[in-house]
């Protein structure tokens, strides 16, 4: 086997014999041919290269090591106030503690580069998911391992990488720094802050790819994750540890549901992580400002891989967000994960796979695109106390084309999740917002994720709405209606109007119970449709001001007794009398 010795001063025969013995022991062969090359730029010392390995014991290499150590030490002072003596003390300590060592590196060379993908020959022992370092300082991740080369995805621009560039194994798996200080910050897919704030002090480091908790470590879903949206909490309840898909065409309010759910977690001891994949930077900035204005950013982390970021960063963003969530989950905390959206994530992965020359399948997606999302969403769960006791609730978002839920990616994710909230364009444009299609939406956890009060209050709402839709179609062809049918139609119209909800105004569980109890008692049925929203707003304010004891009873007891139900109906009727009197007076004026 050939080996190369790069030197400044020619070695003696004794030194050459020692080097050959070192290489023979390291590589398990005595058949070594040593080629000597002189290089004055090393200044002093030598470099040994053999079989894609490099052993650097040169002055040039030592200077590089010292530079890295110095940069690492100085970086901790960026953006912080420290006195001069403190800085000098830390730098002197780092230089004194610094130990020079012959660096043992496995090196490869770039054979092809383009579109954020690099093909490398020579790193024979690299494994999937390992981080590699290019000589220009850019990092990449091993994504494709072949017989004689590997495919690498870049976490940066490829402008400084060219054919022949050196690549070094780091022997570290791709990961992200994690910790409490990430709360309230906007970070990229690698955990670096992009909100203009100071560097984040990490409490640890977690690999972005992690095995999902096993069956024995999981606990059944039974604690509500209240979204504050009446249409969802009453009919398709979400529990902590559940995975509920939000699906619909573009511009139907998918992100708005996710945003309201995050706003509703204020004061509920739940950490929220919002992962933006392939979105415009302006859209993410607008969302962050909404969180700030509602005081929700303090318990939220935003992980952003914008539309201008390379496909590899968009690909790893949801895994990075989940690694952050797992840090909190294993501490016993509850986390809400929003993936917005997994359609763009699949497109980014398809781009990477096609560039890596993998065989395309249905809709040009690679064969493992199902595993792409299943290994991500399976990490969301509710843990038993022995395993940490926390939970990750996932709300993945999928965008459909012309309402086609039978397309490849939608059907894949529907089969992985525990239910879906289907948003319909027709409902959205008709003014029914949130545009939840009651017929196609479902929660596979159901009543297990509802409080007793909500379960009793929401009892017949789905049946009532189904009957209303059926009757509405039937009555289009009939003008002569009996009194009972008219009542049912009026009740259905009122329910549909009550399910409309203003953006950024989630309802508390007690408010939802009050609305549903009043609706089931037909308090809203004889109101004009345009009056319903105003009446609801005024009624909730009346309950908050005058009947706070009823609200407290619902919040504290989480049950709806017959007595409490009767008190709510009586209070609602009393308010309705006052409301009608005020309306009558204003009309007369």
Kindly list the catalytic residues: 444
* Separation of alpha carbons 139 and 133, rounded Å: 5
Alpha helices in 170-277 (DSSP H): 230-235, 254-263
Helix axes 59-75, 84-97, angle to 10 degrees: 140
Which residues make Cβ contacts (< 8 Å) with residue 191, sequence separation at least 6?
176, 177, 178, 182, 200, 202, 320, 324
Q: Token pair for residue 243?
A: 């995975």
The two structure tokens encoding residue 347:
């497109």
**What distance in Å separates the CA atoms of residue 399 and residue 404, rounded to the nearest whole number?**
10
User: CB–CB of 13/31 below 8 Å?
Assistant: no
Q: Which helix (H) or strand (E) holds 160?
A: none
DSSP string across 140-158: EEEEEE-SS-EEEEESS--
Strands 334-340 and 391-400: parallel
Task: Answer yes or no: are the C-beta atoms of 495 and 465 closer than 8 Å.
Answer: yes
Tokens describing residue 276 = 């933006």
The torsion of the CA quartet 398, 401, 407, 410, rounded to 10 degrees, works out to 10
Round to whole Å and give the CA distance between 577 and 579.
Answer: 5
| Residue 391 φ then ψ, to 5° | -155, 155
Give the DSSP per-residue string, 334-351: EEEEEEETHHHHHHHHHH
């Amino acid at each position: 086997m050939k080996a190369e010795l790069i030197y400044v001063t020619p070695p003696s025969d004794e030194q050459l014999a020692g080097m050959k013995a070192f290489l023979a022991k390291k590589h398990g062969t005595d058949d070594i041919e040593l080629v000597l090359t002189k290089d004055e730029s090393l200044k002093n010392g030598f470099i040994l290269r053999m079989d894609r390995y490099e052993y650097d014991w040169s002055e040039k290499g030592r200077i590089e090591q010292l530079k890295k150590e110095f940069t690492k030490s100085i970086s901790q002072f960026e953006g912080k106030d420290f006195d001069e003596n403190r800085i000098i003390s830390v730098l002197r300590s780092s230089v004194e503690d610094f130990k020079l060592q012959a660096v043992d590196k496995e090196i490869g060379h770039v054979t092809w580069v383009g579109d954020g993908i690099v093909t490398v020959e020579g790193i024979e022992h690299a494994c999937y998911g390992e981080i590699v370092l290019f000589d220009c300082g850019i990092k990449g991740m091993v994504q494709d391992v072949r017989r004689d080369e590997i495919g690498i995805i870049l976490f940066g621009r490829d402008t400084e990488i060219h054919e022949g560039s050196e690549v070094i194994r780091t022997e570290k798996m791709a990961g992200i720094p994690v910790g409490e200080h990430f709360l309230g910050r906007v970070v990229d897919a690698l955990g670096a802050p992009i909100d203009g704030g100071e560097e984040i002090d990490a409490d640890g480091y977690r690999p972005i790819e992690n095995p999902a908790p096993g069956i024995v470590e999981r606990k059944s879903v039974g604690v509500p994750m209240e979204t504050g949206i009446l249409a969802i909490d009453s009919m398709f309840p979400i529990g902590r540890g559940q995975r509920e898909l939000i699906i619909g065409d573009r511009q139907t309010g998918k992100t708005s549901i996710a945003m309201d759910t995050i706003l509703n977690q204020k004061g509920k001891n739940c950490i929220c992580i919002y992962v933006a994949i392939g979105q415009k930077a302006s859209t993410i900035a607008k969302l962050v400002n909404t969180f700030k204005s509602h005081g929700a950013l303090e318990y939220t982390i935003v992980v952003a891989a914008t539309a201008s970021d390379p496909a590899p960063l968009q690909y790893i963003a949801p895994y990075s967000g989940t690694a952050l969530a797992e840090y909190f989950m294993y501490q016993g905390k509850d986390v809400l994960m929003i993936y917005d959206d997994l359609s763009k994530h699949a497109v980014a992965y398809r781009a990477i796979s096609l560039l890596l020359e993998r065989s395309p399948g249905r809709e040009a997606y690679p064969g493992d695109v199902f595993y792409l999302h299943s290994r991500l969403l399976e990490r969301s769960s509710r843990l038993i106390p022995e395993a940490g006791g926390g939970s990750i609730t996932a709300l993945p978002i999928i965008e459909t084309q012309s309402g086609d839920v039978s397309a490849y990616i939608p059907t894949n994710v529907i089969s992985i999740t525990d239910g879906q909230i289907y948003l319909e364009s027709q409902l959205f444009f008709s003014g029914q917002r949130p545009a939840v299609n009651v017929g196609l939406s479902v929660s596979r956890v159901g009543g297990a994720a509802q409080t007793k009060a909500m379960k009793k209050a929401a009892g017949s709402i789905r049946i009532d709405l189904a009957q209303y839709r059926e009757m509405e179609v039937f009555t289009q062809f009939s003008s002569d209606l009996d009194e009972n049918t008219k009542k049912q139609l009026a009740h259905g119209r009122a329910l549909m109007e009550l399910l409309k909800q203003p953006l950024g105004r989630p309802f508390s569980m007690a408010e939802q119970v009050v609305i549903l109890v009043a609706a089931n008692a037909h308090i809203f049925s004889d109101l004009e449709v345009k009056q319903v929203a105003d009446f609801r707003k005024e009624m909730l304010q009346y309950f908050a001001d005058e009947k706070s004891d009823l609200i407290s009873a619902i919040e504290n007891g989480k049950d709806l007794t017959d007595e409490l139900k009767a008190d709510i109906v009586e209070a609602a009727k009393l308010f309705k009398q006052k409301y009608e009197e005020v309306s009558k007076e204003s009309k007369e004026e």
